[in-house]
Structures are given as C-alpha cells and as structure tokens.
Chains A and B, each alone.
Chain A
Amino acid sequence: MSFASYLLRRIGGLLLVLLVTSFLVFGLLYLAPGSPLAFILGPRGGSAAQIAAVTAQYHLNDPFVVRYIAWLGDVLHGDLGRSIVYRQPVADLLASRAGTTTALVALAAVIIAVVGIIAGTIAALRGGWVDQVVSTLSAIGLSTPVFVVGVALISLFAVGLGWFPTFGVGSGGLDTLWHLILPAIALSVASAAYLARITRAAVNEERGREHVQTATVRGLAPGLIVRRHVLRNSLIPITTVLGLTVATLIAGAVVVENVFALDGLGSLLVKAILQRDFAVVQAVVLVLVVAFVVVNAVVDVLYTFIDPRITLGSKR
C-alpha cells in the first residue's frame, strides 16, 4: 500500500473515531448528575430567576441531541467553544497546556525507552544476579504508585538535596528541562519497568531462535549477533509496547501533574469533567484521540523500517 493511500485510510479512520468518541463522551457527561451552575453563578449563588436565566443562556436544559449538534457544528467551523468555568476560548486553554504535556511525555518517553530497553537487554543477556536485580527492581517499579514515587523524588532531590525545583514548568528551554526531569522520572518508572520486562522476554525469545544459533555456531562476534539478530528482531514488540505506553501517558499524567503542579492536559481534563465544562472535556478528548492515532501511525511507519517485510497497513 502506498504511503498516500495509507495516510488517507488513517485519516478516514481517525475522523470516524473522533465522531464516535465525541458522541459517547458528550452523552456520558450529559447523563452524569451535577452541573456547572456553581461556576457560572459564582460562590454567592443566585435567585431562582438568575439560575433560570443562566440555564437558558448556556443551553443547560436543551435536549442532548440539540446540544451535541450545536457543538459539532461549531467544531466543523473550527470553533472549539468557550469554557464555562474559565470564560475563555477552549483553544486558548488547550494551547497553553499542550506544550507542557508534550514536553513531559516526550521526556518520559525517552527515559522509558532508554532505561527499559537497556535494563531489559542486560537482564536477558547477562542472566544470573543481574537478571534477578532487574526483575526485582521492575517488580518494585510496577507496583509503586506514581504518587508515592513523585512525593519521594521531591522529598529526596528537591527538598533534601535541593538539586531540582519542587514544582512548575520553569521559564522555557533548559530551565523547563530541569523542571521536568523529576516529573518525567516519576511518570516513567512504571512504564520503564514494564518495558524492561517486555524487552527481556523478547530478547530471550530471539536468542533461542534458529538463525541466532546458526550465527553463534558460525562464530560471529557476540556483539554483532546481539545488535543485528537479537535486538533488531525484538524491536517489534518493544516498539508496540512503547507506542501504546506513550499514548496512554498523555492522559495518564494527571497524578504527576498534580504532585508537581504542572499545567497539563490531564489535569485540565479531570477538572473539566468534574466541573461539567462540556466544551473543554470534548476538546481535550479530541486532542487525546488524535494523539493516540498519530502515535500509532508513527509506530506503523517504524515497523516498516525495523522489518522491511512489513508494509504499511498490512496485518502482521
């Protein structure tokens, strides 16, 4: 399949998924009890007349279908709507937070890939006590809640040693990188542990394959065998897991964002859901779906480089 037709198919699928998810999310939010009234009226509340006026102004009592179609119409015109709570265009809210999330997830992805793959490979190749240590550490990493990791990192490296700041995203560039190191580590611990296990299993499996044994018997250099025959073939499951993990990190960073007081999409989404801020919830969900699909497409493209036998869109 050519790249163009692959892209076309992907975009078609994406649009369909976007339509279905937006409908589902809107519907579920509509069914859930609660309302954003408190945030429109302010803490002093309002009289019955004021509540009725606001309800009408924001169409809070309109039937579900009417509200959904109105929202869909706006989105098709490129208008994501206004946040009821922040009284700002949703696009502005997203723009200022997307950067933080992107930087955090990218940094975490690098840590996950580097640590996970190296630790898994070493564990599989060395075996023995190294394998034991990696397995134990990854078990601990997998079972420790992100919240605990975050608080521990802050206590140790920020409060105790003073090497890193305790919160925030800094002022851009290197400062931001410095600010995001602890949160990225906290975010990546569990996923890196998981990836280490996957890598270890994949490498062990590849090592037992016939072509590797053949290469070993032929006396090829062990380093070459590992690089060319073992690792390269293990990369398919590793890439798959890495892709899925990164995609889920985008929304899954809420806890880390709260602990380190970062303004990411995750915490925006959770707050908006609880505040019934429909337009914000919808917009963030759309962004997440797009990100998920894009990451998966990138993984697909990577497959073709890792294993030339795989073509875009094929079902291996």
Chain B
Amino acid sequence: MVLRKTALGAAAVIAVAALALAGCSGSPKGQTSGPSELTLDLNHLAATTPTGTTPVDQVKWNLPYEPSLIDPIFTWNYAENTVTANMCESLVRLKPDLSQEPGLASKVEQPDDTTVIYTIREGVTFWDGNPLTAEDVAFSLQRQIGPDTKSYWADYFHNVASAEATGPLQVTVKLSKPDVLFTQAMGSAAGAIVEKAAVEAGGQAFGTPKGGLQCTGPYKLGAWDSGKSLTMDRNDAYWDSSVKPKVKQISFSFIADESTAINALRTGDVDGQFFYLPPAGLSQLQKSSNVTTTFGKSFVFWTLAAINKDGAMGDEKIRQALSLAIDRTALTKVVFQGAGIPAPTLAGPDMWGYGKDQFSSAYKKFGVAPDLEKAKKLVEEAGSPKTPIVLAVQGSSAVHEQTASVIQAAGQAIGLNVQTKVIPVEQFGNLYFDQTARKGLDGFFTTNYGDFADPLNVYSFFQSGNSHDYIGWDSADADIAKALQTSDDTARAKLVVGIQDKVTQGLPWIPLAYEPTTLIQNKRISGAVPSFAYLYSPWAVTIGGTK
C-alpha cells in the first residue's frame, strides 16, 4: 500500500546515471559523445498531449497499486485520485494548465469573507439518472465538516462552520473565519460531489468493490474485481455535451512492480501510466518505439523533513549547512535520471497561481549551487555536533536510498555524521503522525504536493500545530495566519513571499527537487492530460486513437 507522500514505486536499482533521451517535451542538451543527458526546463513542461482522433473500444491503464477505497473523501493519494478524477467531479475544476475553472458549480460568489455561495449547474445528472441537487452538494460537504469527520481532506474544512442548501440549486457555506484555501480546495477531490442517497444506501461499503460509487463524471464505475482490475465505462448521458470522450472503456490494472509495469508498457499489454517519480526503467521506455513519454506540469516536490527537535537536525544552523552542502543538480541528474528540477524552495513555479511576478522575482534570489565553505562555517557555529543524524529511508525505493547517499556524502564533506535507517514501505506512512514511529530518527524523505496553485497551500504546513510541522517550527505563524485570511491576490502574494523567505531560511523541510509528472502512452493512443490535473479532473476525455 502506498501513501501519497511516500516515494514508492521507484523500486529497482537505477543502473544508469545519465540516459539517452528520445523524449518529446524535455529539451536535450548538446548531443555530445556518449548518452546525452535529459534536462528539464520548468517553462516547457507539458499541459496537454495531442488529442486523439479516432474512437477506441478499450484503453488499458496501469496504476502503481490498487486503490484501497474510491469514495472521494477517502482518496488523497496517487492511484485513488487517478481513478476518481474521471468519475467524481468537483465544484471547481482543475484545468490541464493547473488553473481553475467552474465545475459542478457554475458560479461562486463571496458576498463577504466568511460566506461562499455556490450556484449548482443546471441539468447535471448522476449516472443513475437522478438530477444533481443542492442537497447532494450540501451533503458531500457536510460529511467532511466537524471534529468527527473521517475525511482525509478534513484540514480544508477546519474553518467551515456549515454548508446548507439555501435554494434548489444553491449551497451556502459559512466559514468560522476567512480561509483562502477552502475555496481553492473545492477544485480538488475535497470538493467532489457524490449522490446523497447512494452514500446512505451504501453505508460502509460505499466506495469499496462491493458498494460502488455514484457521481456525475464523464466515466462511470464499471466493474471492480478486487485485486485484479477496475473498469470504468463512458457515461453517454454526460451533462457537458462539449465533452465527447472517444474511449468507450478504461480498464485499470494494478502492477506494483516497476519493472513489470515497464515491460507491460513496452509490449503494449498496457496502454499508459502516470509516474509521479521517474521510473528506474525510464531509459528503456524512451528507447521503446511503442510509447511516447511526456513530462507534465506538477505540484509534486521531493524534500527532506526534519522530525527531531532535540537532535542535530533540530538546530537551524545544521539544517542550513546540510542544505548548502547538497548538490541538487547532481541529485536530479543521478537520482531522477534528469527528470527532476533542482529545487531551492518547496513550492515550485507551477504553484504560482497568482502574483506570478512577485513570486518570480522572489524566486530569483534563491540558488541551488552548493557552498561548502559557508556550510562548514555554519557547522562550526553550531558547535560541530558529533551525534549522528539518522535519516529514515523507505525500503525497496531506489530514489530514497540514492538520495540518502547524496545527503550522506554532503554531510561528510562538512563534518556531519549522517546515517540511514530503512523502514518498510508499509510502515513508512506512520512516520507522518506517529511520534513513537519517529523515535530515534532525525529526518525522512517525502514526496509531497499542494492540491492547487497557491504556494500558501504548502507553506501553511508550517503553522505550529499543523500535523506537518514535526519540529514545532513557528517563525512564520503570524504571517501564515494573516495570509490565510487575505483574499486579495497581490496582498497575499506579498505575504506568502515573506513566508517563503522565512521557511526557506529556517528549513523545517529542506527542498530537494521539483518532480514533473511522467506520462507514458502507447503510440496507438494520445490525448491524456500529462499535468498534475490528472489527479482531480477528467484526464481521459481527450484520449483517442492515433490511426
């Protein structure tokens, strides 16, 4: 089982450091002797692939593991959301370019800071033919409100006091205090709408292979054969007549073993897959004449989180020194085979959904070039601690192990003793919230992402009390609280730039790399959305045959 934040999947050992590139969206550096290197340009990541033109009966798609549940409130992970994105629509829709547009709510109004009025689109029906009502919308939100909710998205509903149907097609959400993240989160699966009657009838089974699902999307749940496959069929009664999916059925397989998945892609046994980290066999795929590889815009980043306040990593100077000693350019080249971008900050350029100029000029002052002299000085200032820094490494993950080696080397260069401890995949997820699981560890690696294009989404992790703030870092509390209540984009951007400075200075998490989405498609099809939007909005409606 995979947790969304864990860098699972990168299983086998990466044999090559650099690789030959035959890709489409990366720009190859000079073709010198030997294998050329894949380097990605943040400005040229893809948002779309050419729309497929001919009808296709079935597309076989692979997921890195079987979803555990597909009720949207229990989906906050790669495989689950890859599936629900095509079936359960949200109030707001995430576009392939990662901006947002109206979804099931045709209009969103905010008469004041604590009131949001959603006007529900007319003429939308669930797969069973029942019309979408304000009751369904209110219900879908209500089940995520309050201290007792089991929703994985509960964080976004902290400041929601109520959600009530205030008209046949109108839902009013009352916030207990202004929260700019809530309205944006309605563009993720947190804002996905399910049919009230179906949830109540399904009870505990809703969203499991037995209980089914009832949503409004362009694809409906077909059969879910636990352990084998999950199929979804085209919803021919889809409300948006401008959307005409060409693929009749999409069948998901659950190949967890990465080399098996790569082989299945190469032979055409499966037609496509999204990888959130580049697979170890990326070079094999790029050499294959059967598939195309696309690198898409993404919110995903790779980071080292400090988790022990009392250990060496609890010292800001040590974190700064370690960060300065890491060669991020080498890291992306070796560990991510070039399919990664060295990250000086946690939230990358794809997350700048507003105030682009402000974020862009603020970004320019950060660099990724290592500075060993300065790092050594910082270690000295911190009293040259001799206690080892123990980093948790996820079992059977090449990306984890190799990153740990890079950090170990960096630590050695500046006189820090960095050690690693392997934690099995299945237990790794407990590190995120279980104090006892973190005992004896100073840091762990994680892939993480924001759910919409607002850097505040990521930086709000570091408001003290947030479950992501493992070392009680609190230097930006007041700014974060203020930014969360600032709805004016320019004013908020200014605040968030300030928060970004503080977080990048204090390094409760050390940024390492931005990870574009890797989309593999068989050449017989084209059109899947290669950007991060594949997790929250229909990515398969543009797929079609190429012949």
In the bound complex, CA of A46 to CA of B28 (Å): 44
A43, A44, A51, A274: which contacts B426 (Cβ < 8 A)?
Answer: A274
CB-based contact A167/B253 at 8 Å: yes
In the bound complex, CA of A49 to CA of B426 (Å): 23
Known: A42-B76, A159-B266, A159-B267. A274 touches B425 (CB 8 A): yes
CB-based contact B228/A35 at 8 Å: no
CB-based contact B467/A44 at 8 Å: yes
In the bound complex, CA of A42 to CA of B67 (Å): 12
CB-based contact A51/B433 at 8 Å: yes
A35, A47, A158, A159: which contacts B434 (Cβ < 8 A)?
Answer: A35
- Shortest distance between the CB of B224 and any CB in chain A (Å): 10
CB-based contact A34/B269 at 8 Å: no
CB-based contact A271/B1 at 8 Å: yes
13 A–B contacts from the bound complex (CB under 8 Å) = A34-B427, A35-B434, A38-B427, A43-B76, A43-B77, A46-B433, A88-B210, A92-B209, A92-B226, A96-B226, A96-B227, A158-B269, A271-B426
Enumerate the 10 nearest inter-chain pairs by beta-carbon distance, A residue then B residue, closest first. Answer: A45-B433, A263-B227, A38-B429, A274-B426, A42-B152, A261-B255, A43-B4, A166-B264, A96-B226, A43-B3
Query: Is there a chain A Cβ closer than 8 Å to B31's Cβ?
Result: no
In the bound complex, CA of A38 to CA of B428 (Å): 9
Interface magnitude class on chain B: 35 or more
In the bound complex, CA of A37 to CA of B467 (Å): 15
Query: Is there a chain A Cβ closer than 8 Å to B260's Cβ?
Result: yes
Known: A38-B3, A88-B208, A261-B260. A44 touches B154 (CB 8 A): yes
In the bound complex, CA of A169 to CA of B255 (Å): 12
A38, A53, A97: which contacts B430 (Cβ < 8 A)?
Answer: A38
Query: Is there a chain A Cβ closer than 8 Å to B259's Cβ?
Result: yes
List, in ascending order, chain B residues with CB within 8 A of A158's CB.
263, 267, 269
Query: Is there a chain A Cβ closer than 8 Å to B225's Cβ?
Result: yes
B152, B208, B254, B467: which contacts A87 (Cβ < 8 A)?
Answer: B208
CB-based contact B68/A44 at 8 Å: no
Query: Is there a chain B Cβ closer than 8 Å to A24's Cβ?
Result: no
In the bound complex, CA of A177 to CA of B256 (Å): 22
Query: Is there a chain A Cβ closer than 8 Å to B424's Cβ?
Result: yes
Query: Is there a chain A Cβ closer than 8 Å to B239's Cβ?
Result: no
CB-based contact A151/B152 at 8 Å: no
CB-based contact A97/B227 at 8 Å: yes
List, in ascending order, chain A residues with CB within 8 A of B228's CB.
96, 100, 168-169, 263
CB-based contact B426/A167 at 8 Å: no
Which chain A residues numbered 41 to 80 have a C-beta less than 8 Å away from chain B?
41-47, 49, 51, 53
List, in ascending order, chain B residues with CB within 8 A of A258's CB.
256-257, 260
List, in ascending order, chain A residues with CB within 8 A of B3's CB.
38, 43
CB-based contact A274/B424 at 8 Å: yes
List, in ascending order, chain A residues with CB within 8 A of B257's CB.
258-259, 261
Which chain B residues numbered 393 to 445 have a C-beta less than 8 Å away from chain A?
424-427, 429-430, 432-434, 437
- Shortest distance between the CB of B282 and any CB in chain A (Å): 16
Which of B153, B154, B253, B429: most chain A CB closer than 10 A?
B429
CB-based contact A37/B260 at 8 Å: no
Query: Is there a chain A Cβ closer than 8 Å to B5's Cβ?
Result: yes
Known: A43-B77, A88-B209, A275-B1. A34 touches B263 (CB 8 A): no
